[in-house]
Amino acid sequence: MKNVAFLAKGKTFFKAIGPLVYFSNNAGIIPHLICYRERRGKSYDNIDNNLIQNCSSKLDHKRVVFVDSDSDLVKYLENQNIENVVCQDPQHHFRFLDNNKFRIFSIAIFSDTLHYALGNPSLNPSNTGDGWQPYKTYFSDKSIESKFHEMYENSQKRPDAEFKRWNTSALGSPYFDHLLFFDNNEWFDKSVLFLMPPQDSISDENKHQINLLIEYCINENIRFLAKGRKKTYWKVPTVFVKKIHFTDDESGFPYSSIQLIRRTSVHITAYGTSAFESNFLGKPAINIPVIKSSVGIGNYYLSTYGLDNVFNNDLCKPSTGDLIEDFKSALKRSSPQKRNITFEDNNSLDILRDIVSEIS
């Protein structure tokens, strides 16, 4: 069996890493799960023992290690003579790793990874002229993979660029394999899920539309679920607080958002990666406009990334400005899940077996 390190800075990293660790022995890998003891500035994302148990308890061969710093992580890899490393977007999160010393396999996170294909150094740390790239990057599908190559190649067309094409493959996302780890049969008929973006990222009118939809759902006895973010609280009118189902907890494995999308009828996003998940599940979604974000405004994701196939398709539709009517319309949309994943056949196993073939 091959010794491979799997890196996680916090609980949210298990969206990508958790299923890979869980299935690692099945692919001939002994996982060295290396976790940071504390995620500085984001204590709510600290990894707990229950999370470790959930993704590794059934493994016959494993090592679980907690580190306090980047240098501790590197020392462990060197002391254990581990050359092969799997992590999420290392060009952002683990750039301190020497990619000449370690063979780094990157798990791309939908449209988030496209930020690092851009020419803006604040969004693309790899575009500094030193040619830093992971050994191989795994994308969720060929459309995102192709878009990444297109954007990266365009961003490198300048005299001082040392162009090197990224080594990539599109083998699906471990995110989707979390569906195997909770009861898929439990769901709420005629319900809506709002995955809350930062409150200042959408207009006052759309905040008002959200409140109107909440009021409508309360009056019609329709379950309204909302998932917030601990770092960006969303203020909901007091009159509604006790009548909706709200959480800002993240379970990590299986992670909360995909469970909630699976269990509800319609989900509302604001150009979030959750649109990829609802599309995979065949669930209808409503996409509300963004007026402010860390990377741009308005229809940035459509104009820059060309992601109409994700945010404006047969399942996910832009809001018309009337969320109640949008919700009624969305209830009429559905499609089959894109892939029937099982414990014997899934995205994580496809990626792990490809990693083994690369290092053999």
Q: Give the separation between CA 163 and CA 153, rounded to whole angstroms.
A: 8
Burial of 125 (0-12, 13-18, 19+ CB in 10 A): middle
Does 181-330 match 2-179+342-359 at the fold level? yes
Q: Give the separation between CA 174 and CA 19, rounded to whole angstroms.
A: 6
Out of 26-30, 123-127, 210-214, which region has the weakest mean confidence (pLDDT)? 123-127
Structure tokens, 205: 């009118």
**For position 114, what pLDDT does the model report?**
85
Top-confidence range, 36-45, 137-146, 153-162:
137-146
Q: Is the pLDDT of residue 350 over 90?
A: yes
Burial of 347 (0-12, 13-18, 19+ CB in 10 A): buried
Parse the chain into domains and list their residue ranges: 2-179+342-359, 181-330
CA neighbours closer than 13 Å in the CB half-sphere of residue 45: 17
- The superfamily CATH assigns to domain 181-330 is Glycogen Phosphorylase B; (3.40.50.2000)
231-236 — which CB contacts under 8 Å span 24+ positions? 231/42, 231/44, 232/196, 232/197, 232/198, 232/199, 233/199, 234/196, 234/199, 235/199, 236/211
Confidence of residue 108 (pLDDT cuts 50, 70, 90): very high
Give the CA distances from residue 259 to residues 170, 239, 263, 331, 349, in Å, rounded to whole numbers and listed in that order. 24, 27, 6, 19, 21
Q: Give the separation between CA 290 and CA 271, rounded to whole angstroms.
A: 7
Q: What is the mean pLDDT of residues 279-303?
A: 75
Q: What is the mean pLDDT of residues 279-288?
A: 94
Asked: is 2-179+342-359 a CATH 3.30.70.990 domain? The reply is no
- pTM for this predicted structure: 0.90
Confidence of residue 119 (pLDDT cuts 50, 70, 90): low
**For position 157, what pLDDT does the model report?**
63
Q: Is the pLDDT of residue 160 over 70?
A: no
Over residues 62-99, the pLDDT tens digits come to 999 999 999 999 999 999 999 999 999 998 899 999 98
